[in-house]
Amino acid sequence: MINAKEFLSKLKEEGLNYFSGVPDSTFKELISEICEDASVQHRIACNECEAISLSSGYHLATGKVGVTYMQNSGFGKTINPLTSLLSKEVYSIPTVLLIGHRGKPNEKDEPQHKMMGKIMIKLLNDLEINYKVLPKDINLAIETVREMKELAEKEKYATALIIEKGTFEPRNNIKKIEDLELTRELAIKIIVDNLDKNSSIVSTTGKTSRELFETRISRGEFPTDFLTVGSMGCSSAIAVEISIQKPEKEIYCFDGDGAVIMQMGTLATIGNLKPKNFRHIIFNNNSYDSTGGQKTNSDSVDFGKVALASGYKAAKNVSSKEELIKEIIQLKNINGPSLTIINVKKGARKDLGRPTSTPIQNKEAFMNNLK
| Residue 295: per-residue pLDDT | 85
Strands 41-44 and 18-21: parallel
Q: Cα(55)–Cα(281) distance, rounded to whole angstroms?
A: 32
**pLDDT for 211:** 96
DSSP state of 2: B
Q: Do domains 4-163 and 184-370 have the same CATH topology?
A: yes
Alpha carbon separation from 180 to 33, 50, 176, 260, 290 (Å, rounded): 26, 31, 12, 21, 19
Given the candidates 3.30.70.1230, 3.40.630.30, 3.10.20.30, 3.40.50.970, the CATH classification of the domain at 184-370 is: 3.40.50.970
Q: How many whole angstroms separate alpha carbon 349 and alpha carbon 132?
A: 36
Residuewise pLDDT in 10s, the chain (371 residues): 999 999 999 999 999 999 999 999 999 999 999 999 999 999 999 999 999 999 999 999 999 999 999 999 899 999 999 999 999 999 999 999 999 999 988 888 888 888 899 999 999 999 999 999 999 999 999 999 999 999 999 999 999 999 999 999 998 765 555 689 999 999 999 999 999 888 999 999 999 999 999 999 999 988 899 999 888 999 999 999 999 999 999 999 999 999 999 999 999 999 999 999 999 999 999 988 888 888 898 989 999 999 999 999 999 999 999 999 999 999 989 999 999 999 999 988 889 989 888 999 999 999 999 98
Query: What residue spans define the domains of the chain?
Result: 4-163, 184-370
Other Cβ atoms within 10 Å of 114 Cβ, number: 15
Pick the CATH number of 4-163 from 3.40.50.1100, 3.40.50.970, 3.60.15.10, 3.40.50.2300: 3.40.50.970
Whether residue 33 contacts residue 27, with contact meaning beta carbons closer than 8 Å, is answered with no
**Spatial CB neighbours of 278, under 8 Å, sequence gap ≥ 6:** 239, 240, 243, 251, 253, 270, 336, 337, 338
pTM of the model: 0.87
Give burial (CB, 10 Å; 0-12/13-18/19+) of 36. Answer: middle
* pLDDT at residue number 175: 54
